[in-house]
Amino acid sequence: MTKTTFNPEDPAFATPDGSTIFAKFGYSAAVRSGDHVFVAGQIGLNPDGTVPDDDEGQIVRAFERLELVLRSAGCGMEHLVELVSYHVGLQGHLSQFVEIKKRFVPEPHPTWTILEVAGLARPGLVIEIKAVAALPSS
């Protein structure tokens, strides 16, 4: 099996020491295997690494980061085939999440699994989104 990794060089993924979150934690933002791109969970951080003050800001930022990673791997939101979202306090923001998702994810819609979790990698985070995309035909 051949796999190709993708780590966007966007400032949104930088760490204060000048590295990236990918190097710091030893993972890839996305991996292409065959005709699919598997995207690691994207959290809703601001470009400066801070957590937005509200759920809406976090949800929007998570989708924006997902879009950046997909673009770095040669595809876009229209190529999504699977979406998995992890929520802290799901019932408090599910309707908001659905409305924001509609702005980012076009039809035909990918599959979607929604999970409520006790916590995420950083205190204050309420959302993480992972995905799988099918590469566009050449």
pTM: 0.95
Measuring CA to CA, how many Å separate 35 from each of 17, 32, 70?
35, 7, 13
SS3 category, 30 = strand
Residue type, 73: A
Tokens for 51, please give them: 């957590």
Per-residue pLDDT of the chain (138 residues; tens, 9 = 90+): 789 999 998 888 888 888 888 988 999 999 999 999 999 999 999 988 899 999 999 999 999 999 999 999 999 999 999 999 999 999 999 999 999 999 999 999 999 999 999 999 999 999 999 999 999 875
- Of 59, 111, 46, nearest to 87 (Cα)? 59
In this structure, what token pair is assigned to residue 135? Answer: 């590469």
By residue range, what is the domain housing residue 103?
3-134
Structurally, the chain folds into a number of domains equal to 1
φ, ψ for residue 116 (rounded to 5)? -95, 135
Task: List the CATH number of the domain containing 59.
Answer: 3.30.1330.40
